[in-house]
Structure 1
Amino acid sequence: MNIIFDMDGVLIKSEYAYSLAIQRVLADHGVDVDLSYIDQYRGRSNPETWQEIIADFSVLDQASDYYIDRVFSYREEIVARDGIIPCDHILELLNAWHGKGYRMSVASSSPMSEIERTMDALGIRSYFEHLVTGEAVAQSKPAPDIFLYSAKLMNLEPKDCIVIEDSSHGVQAAKLAGMYCIAYVDPHEPAQDVSLADEVVEDYRDLLDRKL
């Protein structure tokens, strides 16, 4: 079986760090938003996220790269404090699927440096054939580009791939790519609309003995 994983919110508990960092950057510039505003950008690339945020608030008068750099700086503080935390039972699932010979790749909107750091911190890089960043494709999720590119790297047809996603944009991208999509929903995270997914799981242990 051929599995393509998103990273943030699927492999690691990192969405909260990005959300808090964005909220803090906005507060620094006199913009107060609650986390529900930021949640709408889950799964999107950083440049596209900030293009839209800047359009929403006229007080933001710097280029996107300025705000992205500030977000990463604040996120680093959170990671230094909390570490890189794997999603519950994901390491058990990856080990089981690797042992079964499943082919696996990562397709994340995060920069490659973040993807590689996560792989190395959790000791899971060897499980994945390819690591694909949103920087490698023209359009970010919800466009299907990143998943289609991942399938191409694996020499697979889209119909032969399963995507595991956690965000509304990610699920949309997987379905537009013509792939089967399993939505992982962490009950401790803000709810996302994953109604387009083919199935939803809240506990990775439910997939351990599944024949995919």
Structure 2
Amino acid sequence: MVIFDCDGVLVDGEYLSTCIMAREARKYGWNITDEQANKMFTGGELAKIRDRIAQESGATLPDDWDMHVQNLIVSMMKTDAQTVDGAEDMLKATLSLGLPVRIGSNSSMAEMEAKFSSTGLDQMLDEERIHSGRDLNMPKPRPDLYLYAAEQDNIPAGNCIVLEDSNAGVEAARLAGMACVLLRDLDKPAPEWPGLYRIGHLSEFVPLLRRIMSRQKREAA
């Protein structure tokens, strides 16, 4: 099975989302830039980001802050979401291999519905194969979300490969006992994890899958 993260892997919405969080942080007195917020908040869960903003600003954030920010993100994604370069072709090619595919993201289902419908990726993805770490209370870097996705098709964790772009997602895959491909510019730092695959562009993912599948067939023979 292939399990995809959403933001930064299929939809290029992470920076826009963290800019909203940065704006919120500045509203409460933490003078953080959009760039700093992107580095700090990417891949994080809203509850922990809320706590960090409260800690840094000394302000008390409302109990419904998470939902408030989620609603801001959903509204923005309905109009501004774009696919990551090469995402549509990569997804089509992955599906053509006949492998089961699922999505595992810390984003809420409402966010992902907005992102996928806005970009047209909903035409290739079945809703029942999309899973939200936020809505299921299984946020990364905990492994639960990825293990849950695999269990839905009764596929062992060792037979799954995850495509991620965040350190939290890589850690979740590692803890789940799954192989992981990190999508990140090759000149940028990455977690130290033996066996972690790295690609700099989505066009490299399916050829990598084919090589892995070919090697498995040879080993089985």
Q: Same fold (TM over 0.5)?
A: yes
Counterpart check, 1:87 vs 2:84: yes
C-alpha distance in structure 2 between counterparts of 1:40 and 1:193, whole Å: 15
SS in 2 for 1:132: strand
What is the aligned partner in structure 2 of residue 110 from structure 1? 107
Runs in 1 of length 4+ with deviation above 4 angstroms?
Answer: none
Give how far 1:192 is off. Answer: 6.0
SS in 2 for 1:106: strand
CA-atom RMSD in angstroms? 2.5
C-alpha distance in structure 2 between counterparts of 1:195 and 1:139, whole Å: 24
C-alpha distance in structure 2 between counterparts of 1:68 and 1:39, whole Å: 22
C-alpha distance in structure 2 between counterparts of 1:171 and 1:156, whole Å: 19
> Which residue of the other structure, out of 185, 190, 193, is the alignment partner of 1:193?
190
Give how far 1:54 is off. Answer: 1.8
Counterpart check, 1:183 vs 2:182: yes
- Tell me, yes or no, if the aligned pair for 1:17 and 1:75 is still in contact at 8 Å: no
What is the aligned partner in structure 2 of residue 209 from structure 1? 207
What is the aligned partner in structure 2 of residue 40 from structure 1? 40
Counterpart check, 1:52 vs 2:55: no
Q: Which runs of 5+ in 1 are unaligned?
A: none
- Tell me, yes or no, if the aligned pair for 2:74 and 2:114 is still in contact at 8 Å: no
- Tell me, yes or no, if the aligned pair for 2:20 and 2:73 is still in contact at 8 Å: yes
| Aligned AA (2:91) | L
Larger Rg: 2
Give how far 1:152 is off. Answer: 0.9
Once the two structures are superposed, residues 26-76 of structure 1 have per-residue CA deviations (whole angstroms, 9 ceiling, x without a partner) of: 1222221133355233222212321233233212x1235226514642673
Q: 1:36 to 1:52 in 2, by over 3 A?
A: same
- Tell me, yes or no, if the aligned pair for 2:106 and 2:132 is still in contact at 8 Å: yes
* TM-score (normalizing by structure 1): 0.85
- Where is the helix percentage greater, Structure 1 or Structure 2? 2
C-alpha distance in structure 1 between counterparts of 2:176 and 2:89, whole Å: 28
* TM-score (normalizing by structure 2): 0.82
Give how far 1:123 is off. Answer: 3.0
What is the aligned partner in structure 1 of residue 29 from structure 2? 30
**For structure 1, which segment, 130-139 or 11-20, has the greater mean C-alpha deviation from structure 2 after superposition?**
130-139
C-alpha distance in structure 1 between counterparts of 2:198 and 2:189, whole Å: 12
Counterpart check, 1:9 vs 2:8: yes
C-alpha distance in structure 1 between counterparts of 2:27 and 2:74, whole Å: 15
Give how far 1:163 is off. Answer: 0.4
SS in 2 for 1:208: helix
What is the aligned partner in structure 1 of residue 216 from structure 2? none
SS in 2 for 1:135: coil
Percent same amino acid among aligned pairs?
Answer: 24
C-alpha distance in structure 1 between counterparts of 2:16 and 2:189, whole Å: 17
Once the two structures are superposed, residues 59-97 of structure 1 have per-residue CA deviations (whole angstroms, 9 ceiling, x without a partner) of: 2x12352265146426734763xx211111111111111
Give the total of aligned pairs.
Answer: 206
| Aligned AA (2:84) | C
C-alpha distance in structure 2 between counterparts of 1:121 and 1:38, whole Å: 22
| Aligned AA (1:115) | M
C-alpha distance in structure 1 between counterparts of 2:82 and 2:57, whole Å: 33
In the TM superposition, 1:73-152 aligns within 5 A as: 73=72, 76-77=75-76, 80=79, 83-125=80-122, 126-128=124-126, 130-152=129-151
- Tell me, yes or no, if the aligned pair for 1:183 and 1:199 is still in contact at 8 Å: yes
